[in-house]
Amino acid sequence: MIKVSPEVKNIFEWILCVIVAIILALLFRHFVGTPTVVNQTSMTTTLMENDRLVLNRWNRTVNGKLNYNDIITFEAPSDDDVKIADLNNPVATYDYNPTSWWEKFNYYFLENGKISYIKRIIGMPNDHIQIKDGKVYRNDQELSEDYLPEGMTTPANGPYTDLVVPDGYLYVLGDNRKGSKDSRMFGCIPIDKVESKVLFRFWPLNKFGAVK
């Protein structure tokens, strides 16, 4: 029988505690929530670069309800600047489909190499979305978008600006309408590509609180 010294035993216990803590942190990050830093300008001025946010991922875990105007993060499409639209199937393209368990774990769970976008939900399944004359219409009703900066218009600068959102998809726009690549350019995103909803902003402190 091999005798283990108290010092070695303590080292193994410490290592085990670190491993357990890392696993719990990864599980919490994937299934419950996680902090993040805004590194895009597509949601200016609602969200500014370097704002610190807390993301709610529990909504994804329990397949919770998404609502109009929710600010979400989702896996970026493979092509975010489509030149020719297929209005019979106006959906974003996702070419990367990992097959092995390690590739799936590394990409979807650890999120290595994965790019995410942050946008606002404008259209739900079966909504008719139309952008014309600098305005957004949903089911023929002009949207009152008080979250946009005063004077901000929405250019129809993509091929997907008059469509019906397919079942299982969302139409999303950035609040910085003249500086955002969104559903106008890449089409509707699958609901199952939604990663999280923005819960609140914790930095800068003078903007601490819920984001709308």
Per the structure block, which two tokens stand in for 130? 């139309």
Nearest Cα to Cα of residue 55 among 77, 38, 76: 38
Q: Please confirm whether the linkage preceding 44 is cis (ω < 30° from 0).
A: no
Number of folded domains that form the chain: 2
- Do 4 and 72 lie in one domain? The reply is no
| Structural domain of 20 | 1-31
What's the confidence (pLDDT) of residue 1? 59
Cα–Cα distance list, 39 to 52, 73, 90 (Å):
10, 12, 27
- Residue 212: inside a domain: no
In a domain, 136, yes or no: yes
Residues 99 and 195 in one domain: yes
161 and 200 share a domain?
yes
| pLDDT digit string, tens, across residues 169-207 | 999 999 999 999 999 999 999 999 999 999 999 999 999
Q: How far apart are CA 88 and CA 82, in angstroms?
A: 15
Q: How confident is the model at residue 4, as a pLDDT?
A: 64
Task: Report pLDDT for 93.
Answer: 95
The helix/strand count (H/E) of the chain reads as 4, 11
Q: Do 18 and 107 belong together in one domain?
A: no
Based on the fold, state whether residues 24 and 105 are members of the same structural domain: no
Which residue's structure tokens are 């969104």? 182
| pLDDT the model gives residue 2 | 63
Please give the average pLDDT of every successive group of 10 residues along the chain, which has 212 residues. Answer: 72 90 92 94 94 95 93 96 90 93 92 95 98 97 93 94 97 96 97 96 94 88
Q: Are residues 7 and 83 in the same domain?
A: no
Q: Considering the domain boundaries, does residue 176 fall inside one? A: yes
> Residue 12: its pLDDT value, please?
85
